[in-house]
Amino acid sequence: MTELLHMRDNYLKEFDATVSSVGEGYVVLDRTAFYPEGGGQSGDKGELWSAGSKVLVKNVAKQEGTIRHLLMDDHDFKTGDPIRGVIDWDWRYECMRFHTAQHVLSRYLQLEYGLETVGNHIKPGGSRADYAPLDELNDQMKTNIENGVNDVLSRSLDVEIRFMPRADAIEFLQAAGYQTRYLEMVPKSIKEFRVMVIGDYDASSCAGTHVSNTSEIGSIVLGRTKNVGAGKRRIYFKLSNKGSR
Ligand SMILES: [Zn+2]
């Protein structure tokens, strides 16, 4: 099992680890700060250093029950080798800004339009999320949503990671009227939930990486939307006016 350092610290950019196993084109570490692709969020990229030379990591993914750092080039890592990992921070930080923005957008659409989030894809440059039931999104609605979401982002809300026993997390989220759809998808073997709390505005169970304050996001700009069937509509969005950190 690889210890996932990002679960507690979303701002960890470098870390030391040991090679647990190797395979063709990939390496498994005992611990990592790289985010493994999943929950709609893109996997991290970066570098693994050992004995003064580096190999580029093109993606990190869960495959056959292990967290694999998928490598760009040939490698000669061996089990037991000490490694220094360095995350591509520009890529990751964009993912964090987009992911927290998506949570705020989803909460806004839940509160104002009664919509449920049924999918997402978080990546730098532009992300998207799917909502239901939503047949159309006209320009007036887009403007209203942008203004509403940007008002929330501009409140500089702190984003906090909390760990709660499964039953407590479900009770907390349900009692507060937060979205609980994804709770059922969490395997029963998971006893402790990671809950992302955005000020007094939102909370949800999520394993992704997030900024620590909404002021880091800047503002959201909605793009095109498209029907993806069964009353679901996909909304593409970008970010502008990068915030501070
Ligand atoms: Zn999330």
Report how far ligand 1's centroid is from the alpha carbon of 187 (Å).
16
User: For residue range 182-212, what is the model confidence (pLDDT) as tens digits?
Assistant: 677 677 888 899 999 999 999 999 999 999 9
**Cβ 37 vs Cβ 60: under 8 Å:** yes
Mean predicted confidence (pLDDT) in 85-91: 97
User: For residue range 32-63, what is the model confidence (pLDDT) as tens digits?
Assistant: 999 999 989 999 999 999 988 999 999 999 99
**Cβ 180 vs Cβ 172: under 8 Å:** no
* Neighbouring-strand partners of residue 90: none
- Where do the domains of the chain lie, and which CATH numbers do they carry? 3-87 (2.40.30.130), 92-240 (3.30.980.10)
Residues 165, 144: Cα–Cα separation, whole Å: 37
Residues 236, 47: Cα–Cα separation, whole Å: 30
pLDDT above 70 (res 244)? no
Report how far ligand 1's centroid is from the alpha carbon of 31 (Å).
22
Residues 102, 171: Cα–Cα separation, whole Å: 23
User: For residue range 153-165, what is the model confidence (pLDDT) as tens digits?
Assistant: 999 999 999 999 9
Residues 238, 129: Cα–Cα separation, whole Å: 12
The tokens describing 91, both together, are: 């890529």
Residues 194, 173: Cα–Cα separation, whole Å: 12
Report how far ligand 1's centroid is from the alpha carbon of 206 (Å).
5
Report how far ligand 1's centroid is from the alpha carbon of 129 (Å).
11
Report how far ligand 1's centroid is from the alpha carbon of 74 (Å).
33
Report how far ligand 1's centroid is from the alpha carbon of 29 (Å).
24
What single-letter amino acid sits at 181? R
Residues 120, 181: Cα–Cα separation, whole Å: 13
Report how far ligand 1's centroid is from the alpha carbon of 173 (Å).
14
Report how far ligand 1's centroid is from the alpha carbon of 120 (Å).
9
**Tell me, what DSSP letter sits at residue 175?**
H
The tokens describing 78, both together, are: 């061996």
Mean predicted confidence (pLDDT) in 119-140: 95
Residues 72, 2: Cα–Cα separation, whole Å: 21
pLDDT above 80 (res 82)? yes
Q: Provide the pLDDT for residue 80.
A: 97
Closest CA to 46 of 33, 29, 65: 33
